[in-house]
């Protein structure tokens, strides 16, 4: 049985997962539209944003792994950030 904050942590994880699935659906929808109507890519700007994103992900990974990693949401966030870094 879970009571109090332990139950809240599981519910927060569920809300987080559902939100991510919604975002994925939106990204897939936008990607399909871009395949149908291609647009030019600004490579310079994209590279700068990618480097900034990678640096932010490295900082977040460092920050999350230095604290208490016993919580399910922290473990999920670490895995998510690691996946983002692999995609960078």
Q: Is the dihedral of CA 34, 38, 43, 45 positive or negative?
A: negative
Contact 18, 49 (CB under 8 A): no
More confident site: 74 or 37? 37
Contact 46, 39 (CB under 8 A): no
More confident site: 25 or 12? 25
Asked if residue 18 has pLDDT above 90, the reply is: yes
Contact 56, 84 (CB under 8 A): no
Instruction: Indicate the domain borders of the chain.
Output: 1-39, 41-88
Mean pLDDT of the chain: 89
Give the tens place of pLDDT for each residue, 44-84. 999 999 999 999 999 999 998 887 677 888 888 899 999 98
Q: What pLDDT is attached to residue 41?
A: 87
Tokens of 20: 């991510």
Q: What pLDDT is attached to residue 5?
A: 67
């Amino acid at each position: 049985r879970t009571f109090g904050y332990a139950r809240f942590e599981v519910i927060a994880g569920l809300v987080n997962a559902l939100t991510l699935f919604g975002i994925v659906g939106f990204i897939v929808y936008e990607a399909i539209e871009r395949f149908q109507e291609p647009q030019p890519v600004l490579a310079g700007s994209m590279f700068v944003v990618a480097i900034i994103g990678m640096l932010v992900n490295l900082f977040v990974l460092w920050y999350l792994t230095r604290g208490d990693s016993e919580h399910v949401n922290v473990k999920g966030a670490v895995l998510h950030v690691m996946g983002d870094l692999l995609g960078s």
